[in-house]
Amino acid sequence: MISRDSCGELLLQLSSTDAMIRTLKRELRPGGPRGGFAVLAALHRCGELRVGELAELFEIDVSVASRHLADLEERGWAERTPNPHDRRSWYARLTPEGEHAALERFARARDLLAELLADWPDEDAAELARLLSRLRTSFDARRVRTPDTSRAAAGAKGL
Whether 14 is covered by a domain: the verdict is no
Q: Which positions ≥6 away from 117 have C-beta within 8 Å?
A: 125
The CATH number of residue 78's host domain is 1.10.10.10
Query: Is 106 in contact with 94 (CB distance < 8 Å)?
Result: no
Whether 23 is covered by a domain: the verdict is no
Whether 149 is covered by a domain: the verdict is yes
What is residue 78's three-state secondary structure? strand
Distance of CA 5 to the CA centre of its chain: 30
Whether 71 is covered by a domain: the verdict is yes
Q: pLDDT by residue (tens digit) across 131-143?
A: 999 998 998 888 7
List the domain range (segments joined by +) for residue 86.
29-155
Q: How many domains does the chain have?
A: 1
Q: pLDDT by residue (tens digit) across 39-64?
A: 999 999 999 999 999 999 888 999 99
Whether 1 is covered by a domain: the verdict is no
Whether 147 is covered by a domain: the verdict is yes
Helix axes 51-58, 62-74, angle to 10 degrees: 120
Rounded CA gap, 22 and 6, in Å? 25
One-letter amino acid of 55: A
pTM: predicted TM-score of the whole model, two decimal places:
0.72
